[in-house]
Amino acid sequence: MKYFKSLFSLAVLSSGIVINTVSCWAATDPSEVNIKIYELWVSTNSDCTNMTRIYNEANPSYQNMVNGPTFGQASVPNGTYNCVAWKMSDILSYRPAANEGNDCVQGTLYTRDLFRADSTEPSICPDGATINGTGTMANQIEDKMCIYVSVGGSNDPDAGMEPSNPFTLTNAFVVNGDVNGTMVTDFRGKVIDAGNECDCEAPDFSFR
């Protein structure tokens, strides 16, 4: 399992920003995803430089993203935002919506430590903090890792942990007046039987 094999539906940026969620449904999608989001940044630059923090919660609770929770509100100036980053707990849980292979059982809750002591690279946050993974799959310890998505990013499963190697963001977030936009994390077909464990590949990121 790579550092970032996660499962969540993050959403939303707008000039009157609302951070909530959307869900995607298919045979191998999650029916439940529980995650904590600490901070959120945006940048007009596709290289994820000069990022602006627009959301900060020091003590977030786990939210079931399938239920479409709202995290907070902020204002974003007009512009075209080509990079988004967030700080999240690396421990999350999820339930497959359907059976997948021998290891993903519909309705079973799986808990994963995504960023562990055996991760070979750190996570570098927009504020300059360098985070190293701790714990193991058997002894899970929370780390607050940062994830980046950008227009012109990579589909490499090892991407996403630092601004120089973000995941792909299909299209930029354009703010022009009081218009809402939703960041979609599409997990259709991403829940997989990885051989002795139920895993999930990184989603596809886009704005609508």
d(CA 96, CA 103) in angstroms, rounded, equals 10
Q: With respect to residue 124, please indicate whether it lies within any of the assigned structural domains.
A: yes
d(CA 86, CA 39) in angstroms, rounded, equals 5
Q: With respect to residue 2, please indicate whether it lies within any of the assigned structural domains.
A: no
- pTM here? 0.80
Q: With respect to residue 3, please indicate whether it lies within any of the assigned structural domains.
A: no
The tens digit of pLDDT for each residue in 150-191 reads 998 988 877 889 999 999 999 988 887 766 666 676 767 777
Residue 19 has pLDDT above 80, yes or no: no
Q: With respect to residue 4, please indicate whether it lies within any of the assigned structural domains.
A: no
Q: Tell me the residue range of the domain where 132 lies.
A: 13-207
The tens digit of pLDDT for each residue in 24-45 reads 333 468 887 788 989 989 999 9
Looking at the DSSP assignment, which residues form a beta bridge with residue 39? Answer: 56, 87
**How far apart, in Å, are the Cα atoms of 109 and each of 32, 68, 93, 172?**
8, 19, 6, 34
Looking at the chain, how many residues does it have?
Answer: 208
**How far apart, in Å, are the Cα atoms of 35 and each of 32, 60, 62, 112?**
10, 9, 5, 11
Task: Give the range among 12-16, 94-98, 104-108 with minimum mean pLDDT.
Answer: 12-16
Q: With respect to residue 38, please indicate whether it lies within any of the assigned structural domains.
A: yes
Number of domains forming the structure of the chain: 1
For residues 91-120, give the mean pLDDT.
89
